[in-house]
Amino acid sequence: MTLNIPNKLNLNIIIILLFISRTSQSLHPKPPPIPILPIPKSRQISWQIAEMALFLHFGTNTFTNTEWGTGHVDPSIFNPSSLNATQWVKVAKDSGFKRVILTAKHHDGFCLWPSQYTDYSVKSSPWKSGSGDVVAELAKAARNAGLELGLYLSPWDRHESCYGETLEYNEYYMGQMTELLTRYGEIKYIFLDGAKGDGEKDMKYFFDDWFSLIHQLQPGAAIFSDAGPDTRWVGDEAGVAGTTCWSLFNCSAVKIGGDNDLRYSREGDPFGHDWVPAECDVSIRPGWFWHTSEKPKSALTLLDLYYKSVGRNCLLLLNVPPNSSGLISDEDIQVLKEFSELRDSIFSHNIAKSALLSASSTRGGPNNSQFGPQNVIEEGLYTYWAPDQGQSDWELYLDFRQVITFNVLELQEPIQMGQRIIEFHLDILDENGKWQQVVSGTTVGYRRLLVFPTVKSHLLRLVIDKSRVCPLISHLGIYMDSYSVSRHVSDTHTKSKFINSLVFRRTAYNRSQSASI
């Protein structure tokens, strides 16, 4: 027997069933995707969010017009007449830096704090009649201003007599490190290298012991070296990362202070087992210590370095050395002020916020705002767009309803979920209604900035071409840079050796498997 239900009743039943289905979805939201390993530790996320840090090379070299001191200069030469750590911190904060890092001891062995292990320090200088402590003054100024403090303690010590005696010197070094990590409050960063004298190749540094001590005394401190454990050297002192730059890395493939593969350091490793993002260190002047004959780089040069460091998933560690008076020079301050104004002018207005956003798919369905495309214009790592599982097209659309002019693309991944994106590109709809590629790139990570010749359109399409697993986007920005594009080399990528040979030899990397992640 067949029941003839009126069409109106049929329609009402369908509406009720759809309502129940959508209500059920809202009562049982889709859980987040599973993170893909490796993922960062909290101290690494804190380091990455800082984006920039100010390095302060200061010591006896400042007064001898040298870069590497001999370790035998009379401590009386250290006598800054106007040292003001509050000024250093103010310059850093006003310029947008969130961290300051001091050379507490450089290769010459002169200590900027009164170490009980040596007299070769500020206590033997005429500055403040031997009662001064540069580290203490900077720590207080940084704390008062809300900036984070980092320290560099050179492993190489050209003054200390026990240097060269492996066990004795490692004990000495760890004693000094303990002083620095227990006297001055919270330390967020330790900068290390593997520098040695030419005749000291047999000298061994107990890095694993040092790392354990640092993390025991200052659990929130990120440690930098050629091989991490928390951040790595990018492989040059020019402040420039590779256009492909993975936070993924294998620490075992690199030796601290060794003859390493600099390309590996610059690009990272898409199959790396460790999370060790790269840091780009560079000085505002030709030298690392202040020299009266040297002049700072221009603000436009610093902006270019910003694109090629912060804009390539790295932190920019910019050295700004105090002068022999103990102050940051006015000409350096002026350049930093202009650099800050340039960044504010470009990045204070995200054109993408005026667009209507849509996506090829959304995890949990098109009405699931938890993972919807509108999340990409929010600030922060913890909201993001996630495409639906099992989809092979990963696209975001921005409809501006009127023509916009732009030349900068910004992307961010929620790095707490792992670094995922391998290749992507941006299209615009041209006057003939056809998609035209504007720029392409490889890795994204915490932040990716691409600069390209100025274009105009009302409709944009971001396409994720390859991803380790289902891609996630936490932020998307569209900007206009009217200052540097004419002199900036586009980041349109040339595939690296890793991308050329990229074979998804792990099941988890297979796009066909991403449906289950």
Residue in the block written with tokens 């049982």: 28
- Token digits for 60? 């006896």
For 156, residues 6+ apart whose C-beta sits below 8 A from its C-beta are 107, 163, 195, 196, 197, 200
Q: Which CATH superfamily is domain 42-348 in?
A: Glycosidases (3.20.20.80)
For 412, residues 6+ apart whose C-beta sits below 8 A from its C-beta are 381, 444, 446, 447, 448, 473, 474, 475, 476
Residue range(s) in the chain whose domain bears CATH number 3.20.20.80: 42-348
Give the relative orientation of helices 166-183 and 134-145 as an angle to the nearest 10 degrees: 40
Give the relative orientation of helices 85-94 and 330-347 as an angle to the nearest 10 degrees: 30
3-state secondary structure (DSSP) of residue 447: coil
- Token digits for 171? 């004990």
DSSP string spanning 185-249?
S---EEE------TT-TT----HHHHHHHHHHH-TT-EEEETT-SSEEE-S-SSS---SS--SEE
Q: C-alpha distances in angstroms, 402 versus 33, 411, 435?
A: 35, 22, 17
Residue in the block written with tokens 């920019």: 316
Using an 8 Å Cβ cutoff, are 229 and 221 in contact?
A: no
Using an 8 Å Cβ cutoff, are 387 and 363 in contact?
A: yes
Per-residue pLDDT tens digits of the chain, which is 517 residues long: 444 444 555 555 544 544 444 444 445 678 999 999 999 999 999 999 999 999 999 999 999 999 999 999 999 999 999 999 999 999 999 999 999 999 999 999 999 999 999 999 999 999 999 999 999 999 999 999 999 999 999 999 999 999 999 999 999 999 999 999 999 999 999 999 999 987 777 899 999 999 999 999 999 999 999 999 999 999 999 999 999 999 999 999 999 988 899 999 999 999 999 999 999 999 999 999 999 999 999 999 999 999 999 999 999 999 999 999 999 999 999 999 999 999 999 999 999 999 999 999 999 999 899 999 999 999 999 999 999 988 889 999 999 999 999 999 999 999 999 999 999 999 999 999 999 999 999 999 999 999 999 999 999 999 999 999 999 999 999 999 999 754 444 444 433 333 333 322 222 222 222 332 3
Q: What is the rounded end-to-end Cα distance, in angstroms, of the chain?
A: 47
Query: What are the residue ranges of helices labelled H in 449-506?
Result: 497-500
Residue range(s) in the chain whose domain bears CATH number 2.60.120.260: 351-489
Local structure of residue 306 (DSSP, 8 states): H
Which residues sit opposite 231 in a β-bridge?
Answer: 224
Topology of the domain comprising 351-489? Jelly Rolls (2.60.120)
